[in-house]
Amino acid sequence: MKYKVLLLGKNGQLGFEFVNYLNLYHDFRVDAFDHEELDITDREKIFVTIKENAYNLIINCTAYNAVDLAEDENYLANAVNFLGVRNLAEAAKINSAKLIHFSTDYIFDGNKKKPYCEYDNPNPLSVYGMSKFYGEQAIKEVCKNYLIIRVSWVFGGKNNFVTKLINWSKQNQKLEIISDQISSPTYTYDLVKAVPKMLYENLTGTFHVTNTPVSKIEWAKYILKKINWSGEIHAVNMGSVKLKAPRPKYAVLDNSLFQYSVNWKMPNWQDATDRFLKRITIL
Ligand SMILES: NC(=O)c1ccc[n+]([C@@H]2O[C@H](COP(=O)([O-])OP(=O)(O)OC[C@H]3O[C@@H](n4cnc5c(N)ncnc54)[C@H](OP(=O)(O)O)[C@@H]3O)[C@@H](O)[C@H]2O)c1
């Protein structure tokens, strides 16, 4: 056993996937906790747990992810995405553990119109984006042995765009879908497969790891066709949909650094979507 792992947020989309996947490997012995069992804002408990169990790898799958609600819950978003993350970074440093953390395309403003690379300047548009950016900064200031993995449009669990779209399609014959937002879906299964590759290469720093890019409406059309939905799709602009938090229009994350570093590519979004639809036994 090479890694004694503390995994936080085991009931989230990504956390759940990690626990299943890493348990297949002899190199990882995983202790996983949900929010109630171990709250990352509980600084003392975090420090004691990591020290007493001598974890050498911390995988943080927790997040305050309610993008719109965060506009009214600035304190809560930052308590988890910034202060909680700083607790993990400090505890990782003191115990010489590696920290793996996940961040978001929402740290960018979406004005670049070309894929964002790791060293592009963040300019978050929302409270959520800002809190995730502060979390990244805290890690970079505190510890050296970290991986910050930026992802976007995460799907793989029960609550994501694919599952929501399928539910909407069951209740409606007309759907309005945003046509001017482009990003990259990230299938949790592909992402958890990518992480051991990064560990085996001893990588540290910030990386973009996603499936390939697509507009939200093109993704929606693909899913709805696969499930043989016969309703009508109406394209709407982001500006005409009343969402509390602004979102970047173009937030494609360039994966080149990841691809060169591990000599492997994340599968394309169609392939990832097909496998997820099969998993949820829609096909
Ligand atoms: N979902 C997306 O589309 C998306 C896009 C870009 C980036 N990301 C990033 O990808 C990562 C994984 O996202 P995900 O979709 O798997 O998230 P998720 O499904 O929302 O899971 C997050 C988990 O964190 C837990 N949690 C919240 N506050 C906590 C705390 N203080 N202490 C311990 N646990 C806490 C939640 O538990 P409770 O539910 O019990 O509170 C939940 O199980 C996150 O870093 C997220 O910011 C996600």
Does some domain include residue 182?
Answer: no
Is residue 120 in a domain? yes
Does 174 fall in a domain? no
Residue 219 near residue 159 (C-beta atoms within 8 A): no
Closest atom of ligand 1 to CA, residue 34:
34
Best residue among 35, 100, 126 to mutate for probing ligand 1's pocket (most ligand atoms within 8 Å of CB) is: 35
- What is the tens place of the pLDDT at every residue in 165-204? 999 999 999 999 999 999 999 999 999 999 999 999 999 9
For residue 59, what is the domain's CATH number? Answer: 3.40.50.720
Q: What is the reported pLDDT for 128?
A: 98
pLDDT at 104 over 70: yes
Report d(CA 32, CA 19) in Å as an integer.
7
CB 185 within 8 A of CB 214: yes
Task: Give residue-wise pLDDT tens across range 131-177.
Answer: 999 999 999 999 999 999 999 999 999 999 999 999 999 999 999 99
Instruction: Report the pocket of ligand 1 as residue ranges, CB < 6 Å.
Output: 8-9, 11-14, 35, 39-41, 61-65, 80, 84, 102, 104, 132, 151-154, 157
Ligand 1 geometric centre to CA of 65 (Å): 6
Quick: pLDDT tens for 46-76.
Answer: 999 999 999 999 999 999 999 999 999 999 9
Q: State the sign of the Cα–Cα–Cα–Cα dihedral 208, 210, 212, 215.
A: negative
Confidence of residue 283 (pLDDT cuts 50, 70, 90): very low
Within a domain: 238: no
* Cβ pair 12, 61 in contact under 8 A: yes
Q: Is 106 inside any structural domain? A: yes
254 alpha carbon – ligand 1 mean position (Å): 23
C-alpha to C-alpha distance for 229 and 223, rounded to whole angstroms = 9
Confirm whether 97 is domain-assigned.
yes
Rounded distance from Cα 228 to ligand 1 centre (Å): 31
Q: Residues 85-94: what's their mean pLDDT? A: 98
**Tally of domains within the chain:** 1
* Mean pLDDT across 72-99: 98
Ligand 1 atom nearest residue 62's Cα: 24
CA angle 179, 122, 78 (to 5 degrees): 95
Full domain range(s) for residue 128: 3-157+187-210+252-266
3-class DSSP assignment, residue 230: coil
Residue 217 lies in a domain: no
- Cβ atoms of 125 and 118 within 8 Å: the answer is no
pLDDT value of position 282? 59
Whether 246 shows a pLDDT value over 60: the answer reads yes
In a domain, 225, yes or no: no
Residue ID of nearest Cα to ligand 1 atom 34: 35
